[in-house]
């Protein structure tokens, strides 16, 4: 039973109670009375719900994220929103299929820091890696699922190569839904175009200023 936040709703329920009994039948009278008790004593009988949940819990002075909050956030994310490795790692299952993508530039004058087109991959344990391969900051990696159903030999690490010591770097984007993955990738493409457009405007402005400066120098001696 949900918590009533409206006094009017409680009044209407009381007024209609005889009608409810009529439809439910006298055989269910006991259950109806019990539910009425729940209505007025939700906290006592444990039949109430909250509209919010605390993100953090406290124990002996220590602060930690509420497990229920984490689970709810992750469940919502599975509906289409992207999750990163730190959010996904405790829920990941070896062998499950997900969608990943990433397309970012740290510097428009250099190549993309990472460019992974939307692709369906399988979560693979790092124990399956050969000795000469290593994946940092994660106990698993991804491998693309080919059209023939076989896994690619290419290892895709959850993080880019900017990690150093305690800093993991930036995680790729993880989805359960193909359409949401493609949508996010296209948004990243648009953001990249904005970066290049801004850089182009700044460079054109700089070149124009330099052109004028040189032209002024010429005019001094003509």
pLDDT at 4: 46
Global pTM reads 0.60
Q: Is the pLDDT score of 35 beyond 70?
A: no
CA dist list (Å): 108 to 76, 112, 195, 206:
34, 8, 7, 16
User: Would you call 112 exposed, middle or buried from its count of C-beta atoms within 10 A (0-12, 13-18, 19+)?
Assistant: middle
Burial of residue 84 (CB within 10 Å: 0-12, 13-18, 19+) is middle
Q: Report the greatest alpha carbon distance in the chain.
A: 110
Residue 196 confidence (pLDDT):
93
Q: Which of 59-68, 126-135, 180-189 has the lowest mean pLDDT?
A: 59-68
Could you tell me which residues are beta bridge partners of residue 140? Answer: 125
Q: Whole-number mean pLDDT of the chain?
A: 81
Q: Which of 66-70, 182-186, 212-216 has the lowest mean pLDDT?
A: 66-70
Q: Is pLDDT of 185 > 80? A: yes
Digit-coded pLDDT (tens) for 63-93? 666 665 565 555 445 445 678 899 999 889 9
C-alpha to C-alpha distance for 133 and 127, rounded to whole angstroms: 10
- The predicted pLDDT at position 3 comes to 46
Mean pLDDT of 6-33: 68
Q: What is the DSSP letter of 189?
A: H
């Amino acid at each position: 039973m949900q918590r009533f936040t409206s006094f009017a709703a409680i009044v209407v329920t009381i007024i209609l109670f005889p009608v409810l009994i009529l439809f439910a039948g006298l055989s269910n009278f006991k259950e109806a009375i019990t539910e009425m008790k729940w209505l007025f004593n939700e906290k006592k009988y444990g039949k109430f719900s909250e509209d919010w949940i605390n993100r953090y819990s406290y124990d002996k002075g220590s602060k930690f994220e509420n497990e229920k909050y984490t689970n709810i956030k992750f469940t919502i994310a599975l509906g289409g929103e992207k999750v990163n490795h730190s959010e996904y790692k405790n829920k990941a299952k070896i062998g499950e299929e997900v969608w990943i993508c990433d397309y970012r530039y740290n510097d428009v004058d250099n190549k993309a820091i990472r460019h992974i087109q939307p692709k369906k991959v399988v979560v693979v344990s790092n124990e399956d890696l050969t000795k000469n391969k290593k994946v940092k900051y994660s106990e698993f990696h991804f491998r693309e699922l080919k059209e023939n159903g076989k896994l690619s030999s290419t290892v895709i690490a959850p993080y880019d190569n900017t990690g150093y010591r305690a800093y993991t770097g930036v995680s790729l984007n993880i989805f359960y839904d193909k359409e949401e993955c493609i949508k996010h990738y296209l948004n990243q493409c648009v953001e990249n175009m904005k970066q290049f457009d801004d850089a182009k405007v700044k460079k054109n402005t700089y070149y124009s200023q330099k052109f004028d400066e040189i032209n002024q120098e010429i005019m001094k001696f003509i």
